[in-house]
Amino acid sequence: MTVRGVRGATTVVSDQPEIVLEATKSLVLEMAKENSIAPDEIVSVIVSTTRDIESTFPAKAVRTLDGWKYVPVMCTHEMDVPGSMPLCIRILMHVNSETHQKNIKHIYLNEAVRLRPDLQN
């Protein structure tokens, strides 16, 4: 078994706790579904946000998912680069997987599809 990285990102329309948590939950569940990942296969999850998201910890949404209680999750902020996409949540999920890296499905939702158009299906 090899540890693989699964990337994902989404954007929110505003920095409100319920919006941030729902967007994070939706993204994580889509990443897991598209890559057939079970919580026990996850090594860790890093959730980063742009600095304009500060109303809540997005990791809270991950920790409250059914079966995800013991998945190690950490939040951080992205670098504040001029011109970067605002109100963006990014996720890097480390998973134990037999899937080759080139076959991992990275998930980009909402405005975040512009971040990696080369990875879109």
- How many other CB atoms are there within 10 angstroms of residue 38's CB atom? 10
Longest Cα separation, the chain? 40
Is 63 one of the annotated active-site residues of the chain? yes
Is 7 one of the annotated active-site residues of the chain? yes
**Which of 7, 30, 34, 111 is an active site residue?**
7
**Which of 30, 34, 41, 78 is an active site residue?**
78
Is 70 one of the annotated active-site residues of the chain? no
**Which of 51, 90, 98, 114 is an active site residue?**
90
**Which of 75, 88, 111, 114 is an active site residue?**
75
Is 51 one of the annotated active-site residues of the chain? no
Is 116 one of the annotated active-site residues of the chain? yes
Report the C-alpha gap between 121 and 104 in whole angstroms: 11
**Which of 51, 108, 111, 114 is an active site residue?**
108
28 phi and psi angles, rounded to 5 deg: -60, -45
Report the C-alpha gap between 20 and 102 in whole angstroms: 29
**Which of 51, 63, 111, 114 is an active site residue?**
63
Catalytic residue positions, numbered: 7, 63, 75, 78, 90, 108, 116
